[in-house]
Amino acid sequence: MLDMKIEQRVNIKFLVKLKKTAAESFRMLCKVYSEECLSRACVFEWHKRFCNGREDVEDDDHSGRPTTCSTNEKVKKIDKIIRQDRRLSVRAVAEMVNIDGDSVRKILVENLNIKKLYAKMDPKNLTIDQKFNRKEICSDTLKIIKNYPSFINNIITCDETWIFTYDPETKRQSMH
């Protein structure tokens, strides 16, 4: 799509050199490109630019936020911040890292696999520490079963998400 825009701008530049008006240029582009033609306003804008002496058909560089803020450095920094205090809001993390909240939210969900649960951030999957903890608990349980075979009757099987420590808080509790 970008190449199509550049191609049409080149054609507009050519039509300006042929002394065609903006309206004539737009009609000609519509005949050639039909549905993929630039908008009327865009054709008129580029026609005006080329009439004023512009030679470059590329977009101007413009300031603004970069297309992505999720560099490895930012991801690591956000991960460290969240691991230190899971009760921080996305806005607070964004201010600490100096990027916008949507980028922080995207990094949390896509890169770190973390979601906001009530008043704190919780990993969707078990972390390495939780996996290690789970392994230790299972090993201890197996040792107990080996020594006391009847102990197995006391075990309740369940979904593995019950295994990792989870202390739900209401929003009211987390405010204190």
> Is there a shared CATH topology between the 2-51 domain and the 72-123 domain?
yes
Which pLDDT belongs to residue 101?
84
SS3 call for 75: helix
Q: Classify domain 72-123 by CATH number.
A: 1.10.10
**Boundaries of every domain in the chain:** 2-51, 72-123, 126-176
CB 47 within 8 A of CB 22: yes
Dihedral angle, C-alpha 118, 122, 123, 129, nearest 10 °:
-160
What residues have CB less than 8 Å from 101, skipping those under 6 apart? 90, 91, 94
SS3 call for 120: strand
Which pLDDT belongs to residue 65?
55
Phi-psi category of residue 127: left, alpha or beta, with phi > 0 → left and psi -120 to 50 → alpha: beta
Strands (E), 91-141: 114-117, 120-123
pTM of the entire structure?
A: 0.38
User: Which residue matches tokens 């989870």?
Assistant: 166
What's the length of the chain? 176
- CA 174-127-119 angle, to 5 degrees, is 15
Walk along the chain (176 residues) in steps of 10 and give the mean pLDDT of each run: 81 92 92 89 92 86 60 86 83 86 85 68 68 88 88 67 51 58
Q: Which of 164, 155, 71 is nearest to 124 (CA)?
A: 164
Which pLDDT belongs to residue 164?
45
CATH fold for the domain made of 2-51: Arc Repressor Mutant, subunit A (1.10.10)
